[in-house]
Amino acid sequence: MYAFAYHRPATARQAAGLLAKKEDAKLLAGGHTLLPTMKQRLASPAHLVDLGACADLKGIERKGRNLVIGAMSTHAEVAASPVVQEAIPGLAYLASHIGDPHVRHRGTIGGSVANNDPAADYPSACLALGATIVTNKRKIEADAFFTGLYETALEEGEIITKIAFPVASKAAYAKFRNPASRYALVGVFVAKRGSDVRVAVIGAGEGGVFRWSEGEAALKARFAPKSLDGVKASAKGINADMHADAEYRAHLIGVMAKEAVARAVGK
Amino acid sequence: MATVSMTVNGKAVTATVDPRTLLVQLLRENLRLTGTHVGCDTSQCGACVVHVDGKAVKSCTALAVSLDGASVTTIEGLATNGALHPMQEAFREHHGLQCGYCTPGMIMAAVDMVNRRGNDLDEKTIREDLDGNICRCTGYHNIVKAIAAGAEAMGGKVQVRQAAE
Ligand SMILES: Cc1cc2nc3c(=O)[nH]c(=O)nc-3n(C[C@H](O)[C@H](O)[C@H](O)COP(=O)(O)OP(=O)(O)OC[C@H]3O[C@@H](n4cnc5c(N)ncnc54)[C@H](O)[C@@H]3O)c2cc1C
Ligand code: FES
Ligand code: FES
């Protein structure tokens, strides 16, 4: 790891000030993506702005129809939160299956969403639930937020402060884990709100998280696992690597979607 | 350089460190607490697990300066008055180690598991919660047995302690 200057602001506002003032500054949240990257010298920021002391980025609350989660909430906090378990149990389940217990004690929702790893879990929940990513500057709809592999709509100096998830009537997540890394080989989040059905897929798309429109159409007719019988995801634009080829991953999309729907309807 | 203060195994410590110093480096190199091991240094193996404010974390993946004011417990902090912690005792009794390299992290992860899930742990839960700890020797079987027994023993101890208070 190359040397850097360290800053520990007490509020998001102070953090934004530091980002604006310091050349080549990067935010540090749980550090479970950034520190390994810095150890490998793939990143070498001159300044690290640690969000760890920003109390205003913490907290989980139900606000009307939304579940609002502070960016610095750890995966373990989201998984164990009675508020999350009651509002969107599928989201608590998702958080409880990220990495391992130690990773969940440090890694944060803000860091995960900002990083937009194509195999990370949270982007699927944001997209399927139609979440709003709130920053120190504006509000961004999930549909416009995830723009490509490790790419987001975040601009220089922009900080995610919280994420607002509209509470769905039915929602669930199913993940086929890579047994070594625990990241998703394929993960599918399904959500139904009124007549709207959304199916978001991670781990599979060459461009990162995406909505599976054929699956959504089939589930709009009837929100039941059976509706997905015979509905095949295309292998076009699907990742292939040493762990699984595109055909296999495309097949898994259907299998995981079915499992998620079964969970969502309580079967 | 930056100054960091924390409580380590109940003792207040203050150190002046380069900001890139990892918690595990502070523990091993500054404080000479070499029970915490570095297996992979890539956040995978869990040999470096310690407790920070009561929660298991990989000390190779946290900056010491980020933990200013925190309370840290390492494997050296588990035994009391020369008597092994029930989880350490269970690893010895059930032969839960061979070379011992993974053991400090395993035991810290095991105690964290009991803190989160209670004293009655079934095999499936233990195996799942060991996702972040790799052992290259034992094949895990005796580690799982040791954790189940240690968890139960910790329950006994807690009750005795409460009764005495
Ligand atoms: C062994 C291991 C297994 C893992 N398994 C999984 C898994 O199964 N599923 C999964 O989804 N993830 C997994 N992860 C990743 C983990 O969830 C990370 O914690 C997460 O991706 C990044 O969050 P962080 O808080 O650690 O962010 P950091 O590493 O601190 O930051 C990541 C990036 O986001 C930026 N950033 C952080 N916070 C903000 C903010 N509030 N606003 C704007 N930008 C910000 C940083 O500048 C940095 O570029 C795993 C990690 C490890 C080490
Ligand atoms: S040394 Fe920290 S996880 Fe392997
Ligand atoms: S006992 Fe040797 S690595 Fe676990």
Give the tens place of pLDDT for each residue, A58-110.
999 999 999 999 999 999 999 999 999 999 999 999 999 999 999 999 999 99
Q: Indicate yes or no: CB of B46 within 8 angstroms of CB of A6.
A: no
B114 Rama class: left (phi>0) / alpha (psi -120 to 50) / beta: alpha
Instruction: Say which of B42, B109, B131 has its CB closest to residue A182.
Output: B131
Spell out the per-residue pLDDT of chain B, length 165, in tens. Answer: 999 999 999 999 999 999 999 999 999 999 999 999 999 999 999 999 999 999 999 999 999 999 999 999 999 999 999 999 999 999 999 999 999 999 999 999 999 999 999 999 999 999 999 999 999 999 999 999 999 999 999 997 544 444 443
Instruction: Count other C-beta atoms under 10 Å from residue B16's C-beta.
Output: 10
Angle at B61 between CA A114 and CA B154, to 5 degrees: 115
Q: Indicate yes or no: CB of B131 within 8 angstroms of CB of A31.
A: no
ipTM of the complex: 0.94
Restricting to A residues 27-66, those with a Cβ less than 8 Å away from any Cβ of B are 28, 31-32, 35-36, 39, 48, 50, 52
Strand-pair category, A47-50 with A146-148: unpaired
- Domain range summary for chain B, segments of one domain joined by +: 2-77, 86-153
A257 vs A186: CA distance, rounded Å: 10
SS3 for B37-88, per residue?
A: CCCCCCCCCCCCEEEECCEEEEHHHCEHHHHCCCEEECHHHCCECCECCHHH
B152 vs A50: CA distance, rounded Å: 39
Give the pocket of ligand 1 (CB within 6 Å).
A 26-34, 51, 71, 98-99, 103, 107-108, 110-112, 114-115, 117, 120-122, 154, 159-160, 182-183; B 43-44
The number of helices, as runs of H, and strands, as runs of E, in chain B is: 5, 5
**Going by C-beta distance under 8 Å and a sequence separation of 6 or more, which residues neighbour residue A115?**
A33, A150
Q: How far is A96 from chain B (nearest CA, A)?
A: 11
Regions of chain A short of the pLDDT cut 50 = none
Instruction: Say which of B18, B41, B116 has its CB closest to residue A3.
Output: B18
Annotation: CATH topology of B86-153: DNA polymerase; domain 1 (1.10.150)
Supply the pLDDT for residue A51. Answer: 98
| 3-state SS class at A43 | coil
Q: CB under 8 Å, gap of 24 or more: what pairs does A76-81 form?
A: A76/A101, A76/A104, A76/A105, A76/B55, A78/A109, A79/A104
B109 vs B14: CA distance, rounded Å: 26
Supply the pLDDT for residue A81. Answer: 98
Q: List the structure tokens of A155.
A: 């601009």
- Ligand 2: distance of its center to the CA of A105 in Å? 15
Q: For residue A15, what is the DSSP state?
A: H
Global pTM? Answer: 0.96
B2-77 falls under which CATH superfamily?
Answer: Beta-grasp domain (3.10.20.30)
A218 vs A222: CA distance, rounded Å: 7
A27 vs A12: CA distance, rounded Å: 11
